[in-house]
Amino acid sequence: MFHKEGYIIIINTFLICAAIALVAEYFVGNQIAKYCLQATALVILVLVLQFFRNPSRNTVLNENHLLSPVDGKVVIVEEVFEKEYFKDQRLQVSIFMSPINVHVTRYPMSGTVNFSKYHPGKYLVAWHPKSSELNERTTIVVENEQFGEILYRQIAGAVARRIVNYAEVGDKAVQGEDAGFIKFGSRVDLFLPVGTPVDVVLDQVVRGGETIISKK
């Protein structure tokens, strides 16, 4: 199963790779060169297919759980000053996604979308300390009774060149459902109220829609 954001790219990549394979088959006389070109085309196609995969997840709806919005590795757990929306101290949990991770963004909890804003920006590497403030990004705030307002931010990386965000103000978010996509690399930051218990640690690998970030 592939994400809808990848359909056009997948089709174009398939056509290009098929053309390369055919040209190599009929116009490249050297057998080694022919096989290398065909193998390279196949590898490129497989990489694009795996990047846009959208596997189903066993999301157990629980209003007392805050789930990871994406697949990846936890790279930051620290208290910071959130400048854009809350303008106060928050607990930041950041998840880095490599190109081999699933890049679907899922709602970490059910609730109402109170804020959704896109920011154009730079393309610093996703683990850069300033990427949360300077890179292309979207900021989304979801609210419910158990956790109050939770902010998550999709951040483009050095390779990523497009963030897709489906959340609009007033929407009813459903935990684990598709909330967007980040094409080719990146990271997602979560901003929680100070004092919120966190159930993940640095360098832990998490799965979007399944791994519990916090329990109430």
- Give me the catalytic one of 68, 94, 186, 214: 186
Is 68 an annotated catalytic residue? no
* DSSP code per residue over the chain: -B-GGGHHHHHHHHHHHHHHHHHHHHH---HHHHHHHHHHHHHHHHHHHHHTB---------TTEEE-SSSEEEEEEEEEEETTTT-EEEEEEEEEE-TTS--EEE-SS-EEEEEEEEE--B---TTSTTHHHHBSEEEEEEEETTTEEEEEEEE--SS--EEEE---TT-EE-TTSEEEEEESSEEEEEEEETT------TT-EE-TTTSEEEE-
Residues involved in catalysis: 186
